[in-house]
Amino acid sequence: MITIYHNPRCRKSREALAYIMDHGWTHKIVAYLSHPLRIEEIVYLTELLDLKAIDLVRTQEALWRDHYKNESLTEDQIIELLSAHPKLLQRPIVVIGKRAVIARPAELIESIR
């Protein structure tokens, strides 16, 4: 089963979902904007992706630029921000089993199949 952390307003996220659907793969959509991820879920994603929390932040978002860009934040503080402000989360994240990828471009999904 493929899990996609999806933002339907994001072109790259829509492309990844279309890629999954075009291949006929069974999938589950996590609408993380309407159902923000818990801290434990974000920690789990960082582990699967083998990335630091800052690597999951959309640093070009106005919220980040205006309020957090110049702050010295710990890993835990960044994870808390991602939970509190889900629009800061990189997208789309695709998880298959114990492997995950930020699927930009969508073809990167093949790297974890």
The predicted model gives 15-26 an average pLDDT of 98
Q: Is residue 22 located within the same domain as residue 41?
A: no
Q: What is the mean pLDDT of residues 84-99?
A: 97
Q: CA 17, CA 6: separation in Å to the nearest integer?
A: 8
Write down the catalytic residue from 10, 29, 33, 112: 10
Active site (annotated) includes residue 10 = yes
What's this model's pTM, rounded to 2 decimal places? Answer: 0.94
Predicted local distance difference test score (pLDDT) of residue 30 = 98
Residue 94's identity, in one-letter code, is V
Quick check: helix, strand or coil at residue 4? strand
Structural domain harbouring 109: 1-32+91-113
Tell me, yes or no, whether 70 and 113 share the same domain.
no
Same domain, 80 and 57: yes
Mean pLDDT within 35-55:
98
Q: Residue 21's domain is classified under what CATH number?
A: 3.40.30.10
What percent of the chain has pLDDT above 90? 100
The residue-averaged pLDDT of 60-66 equals 96
Considering its fold, how many domains does the chain have in total? 2
Residue 14 burial (10 A CB sphere; 0-12, 13-18, 19+): middle
